[in-house]
Amino acid sequence: MKAEPETRIVKGKDVRFSVDDLAAMPAATSPWDGVRNYEARNIMRDRMRVGDQILFYHSNCKEPGVAGIAEIVREGYPDHTATDPSHPYYDAKSNPEGPPRWFMVDVRFVHKLSRLVSLKELKQHHDGKLRNMVLLNRGRLSVQPVTQEEFEFIVALGSSDA
């Protein structure tokens, strides 16, 4: 799951969100809201289950990469920010009276990796263990599936000085 760790102001509010921000939240838990892509929404709504671990990826920053691990603590539910005109992630096409258009999940901080596993480093493994990784083949999607093998490989990279 991708988040932007550097300040970005939308509708007068800073929407930055880093692995450190998640760790600092009450109970180290937060809704993952504001996803406005149907494929990413479907992954959150239909595939994420309580206990699933996620790679927390810092994007749109000087050095993008995997910064930590979080876990799903609440499965997909309607994203109320879509119908709040004052919210940075408001979607004028969402109808508060109709069926929900957007969904979110709640995530809890598990741990920060010993070091950031940069996108540049991930690309070095594109011909090997990460050859089918969605991030390296369709990088713009903010919520992406990761295989268990990919997850374990990246966590091992982030736990070493390699």
List the one residue out of 17, 104, 28, 25 whose CA is nearest residue 59. 17
Confidence category of residue 18, pLDDT binned at 50, 70, 90: very high
Domains of the chain, first to last: 2-158 (3.10.590.10)
Digit-coded pLDDT (tens) for 114-153: 999 999 999 999 999 999 999 998 878 899 999 999 999 9
pTM (two decimals) = 0.94
Confidence category of residue 162, pLDDT binned at 50, 70, 90: low
